Amino acid sequence: MQPITNLENNLSFEDFKAEVIKDYKTAMISRECSLLGRREVLTGKAKFGIFGDGKEVPQLAMAKAFKKGDWRSGYYRDQTFMMAIGELTPEQFFAGLYANTNIDLEPMSAGRQMGGHFVTHSLNDNGSWKDLTNQYNSSADISPTAGQMPRLLGLAQASKIFREVEGINTTGFSKEGNEVAWGTIGNASTSEGLFFETINAAGVLQVPMIISVWDDEYGISVHAKHQTTKENISEILKGFQRDKNSKGYEILRVKGWDYANLIETYQEAGAIAREEHVPVLIHVQELTQPQGHSTSGSHERYKNTERLEWEAKNDCNLKLRKWIIESGIATNETLVEIERSAKRDVREAKKNAWNTFLRPIKKEQEELISILKQVKAVSVNGVFIAKLKDSLANIDEPTRKDILSHARKALRYIVEENFQEKKTLSKWIDSIFQHAQPKFSSHLYSETQRSNTRIKEIKATYDDGAEQVDGRIILRDNFDAIFSSYPEALVFGEDTGNIGDVNQGLEGLQEKYGELRVADTGIREASIIGQGIGMALRGLRPIAEIQYLDYILYALQIISDDLATLHYRTKGKQKAPLIIRTRGHRLEGIWHSGSQMGGILNLVKGVNLLVPRNMTKAAGFYNTLLLGDDPAIVVECLNGYRLKEKMPNNLGNLKTPIGVVETVKEGTDITLVSYGSTLRIVQQTAKDLLAVGIDAEIIDVQSLMPFDLNQDIVKSIAKTNRVMIIDEDVPGGASAYILDKILNEQNAFQYLDSAPKTLTAKAHRPAYGNDGDYFSKPSAEDIFEAIYDVMHELSPNDFPKLEITQF
């Protein structure tokens, strides 16, 4: 190793030595955490573990270049980095391993995800922003390989927006766009498409992003020769290297055990990204993984003797130790004492974390044992209660599952008895659930006053003789009002900028607001969503446009695993109120048919899913969402852009409520529930039904998630005693979801005199052309005949059977 020139110029030699020794102690503490962490998993105290051993030294270098206001988007081996910036203690490390649900003791996720996933808190308890410029920031990690990459792009792009867009109040969010987004990834995960998509996009956008590739030559058991062309990610990315004639990346290579060169490399990378807004890739090579990939197996199974011997000799901590002694920074005796101290400190931290985790559970165990003793004394089944009590008492390290399982089984033995002790047991079980359930279930959505569902409705208002205009004009003018009122709002997507989106809902707005606020992107849906997540994490209000609903499948993993879980997995300590704008419904053909809805419903819990029937309703949703903290997908009706609507006079202010249905026609005979484009067909069919004496009530769902919070559909069913869900999605999709909500959650079955019905598309996708659509999705005739058939069952004389057999 070489001397650290920059540090030596800025520090006295004594200060320099102290800094190096401090780093060595951090590295040894982190290593001991990894070693003890693995043992805790193997003894059963923890469920699973992936640790950062072998990556300590480059993370120390990264921490030195990381400044307050910067952001990290990493993966589950960055524990040394978090310790080096002061955001992770050994006790917190073990609290995460044990899944402690106390956010104060386990600030990374309150036990909601595996240890090794790191976060800093961006929000106060009331949901307001902290000063992000005055703290080190880490976006909440996720496990899916390369899943951290799209978000990294947005975190970096936010600095570009803050630096170059005028009018944004950057207080607490940015200091002149000088913040760098630092990403980390393992060498094998660079094989993922998300990595290449993000790398390409960052090069195009020229954002201050630094990506470190920790390269230990393996991906679990698979060697780099099976992962990467030429076995070298920086080699195959040479074409991204910037030069005098073209923009691109700065690509740097460094050995992962070379402390001095690592620090200089990271200082250089930080300066380039921070000052020039140029992305940098640092390929950190010759790293090791001393304990293998995870606690699920041993690397001795797949590494040969030569590789294992090489890893033992080239361990980065060992190489740092040797360099410290050779450089005269510290003696062997000093380092031995540091190593012993690290072992003692980590053992004590582990012990404290375990005792702190177990203490409240043991208290509940003791409470239940006391109650069971009382129940045993008065129950005719006391002998069985005694066995349960003794079984519970014999568990030295109980879980809440152990405790509640014993308590609920005890209730079975006394189900036919009636005494005060039984009531005490029942109330105790209820109190434990009330106390414990939120530890695992809260914060799927915002629980503050800025929850989207708390934003009150403001109806559209109209001037006398209001003009009938294309729906796209309403959207366009509403977006104009949004960008005028919210300097931090921006929209981006494929064909979004120059032509004003494929349906002209943003016509002329790029020219008015600039290419950064109304922007075109490449065809790369996952990183479009990532841009939005990252920028929303930093206080901007992005609208990410996915051109059509079916294209959202390309981004669904990022929406599902990252966006939808963010607020939950941080227990409300981070938020990304991203708005995803897309369009679907009623287009002929396989791809744009909207049959993704069922999948979206089941994969994006944590995101609002909104399905406005026209563009006025859509505009109202956008206005509502900009006042709230929850992310959302808005699915505009694809055939609604050219349909005429009255022009409201309160664009920018009208608000469509979230989680509230709308009764668009009152009736007495049957409740018809639908949404989006299909609702128009239902409305048209209702007129034909009136002609034969059937008066249908029509309800527009508007918001699939959350769904009908006021239970207005049930109120309608209580009046009509019949219900039909009409949906262009395939069977088992949104129609099944809606039916489950109103029957099983809202108990509408008690009001039904006829079997509830669903009318959906056929199981296949629509074939190309108008006839393909007609034979695939519910037509006006299908709807009429299905409703008529329900009324025929009720009164055959009044409604003679139609000679149609498909229903």
Give the number of C-alpha atoms closer than 13 A to the C-alpha of residue 302, restricted to the C-beta side: 15
In sequence order, which residues have a C-beta less than 8 Å from that of residue 785 and are 6 or more positions away? 802, 804, 806, 807
Query: 3-class SS at 73?
Result: strand
DSSP codes of every residue in 622-657: HHHHTTSSS-EEEEEETT-SSSEEE--S-TTT-BPP
Query: 3-class SS at 588?
Result: coil
Residues 229, 232, 236, 242, Cα dihedral to 10°: 170
Triad 768, 770, 771: Cα angle to 5°: 85
CB 181 within 8 A of CB 208: yes
CB 557 within 8 A of CB 149: no
For the chain, what's the residue count? 807
Q: Pick the catalytic residue: 117, 277, 592, 792? A: 592
For the chain, what is the total number of helices (H) and then of strands (E)? 27, 22
In eight-state DSSP terms, residue 46 is S
CA distance 601 to 564: 11
Structure tokens at 103: 């956010």
In eight-state DSSP terms, residue 574 is -
- Report the Cα–Cα distance between both ends of the chain, in Å, rounded: 79
**SS3 breakdown of the chain: % helix, strand, coil, rounded to 5?**
45, 10, 40
CB 469 within 8 A of CB 481: no
CA distance 659 to 307: 58
CA distance 558 to 555: 6
DSSP codes of every residue in 52-64: -TT-HHHHHHHHH
Compute CA distances 573 → 529, 559, 569, 627, 730, whole Å: 21, 19, 9, 18, 38
SS in 3 state form for 656-668? CCCCCCEEEECCC
Query: 3-class SS at 213?
Result: strand
Map tokens 């869900």 to a residue: 725
Give the phi and the psi of residue 504 in degrees, each rounded to 5.
65, 25
CA distance 592 to 765: 9
Does residue 585 have an active-site annotation? no
DSSP codes of every residue in 88-151: --HHHHHHHHTT---TTTSTTTTTSS-TT------B-TTSPBP-GGGS-EEPPP--STTTHHHH
Q: So which residues are the catalytic ones?
A: 592
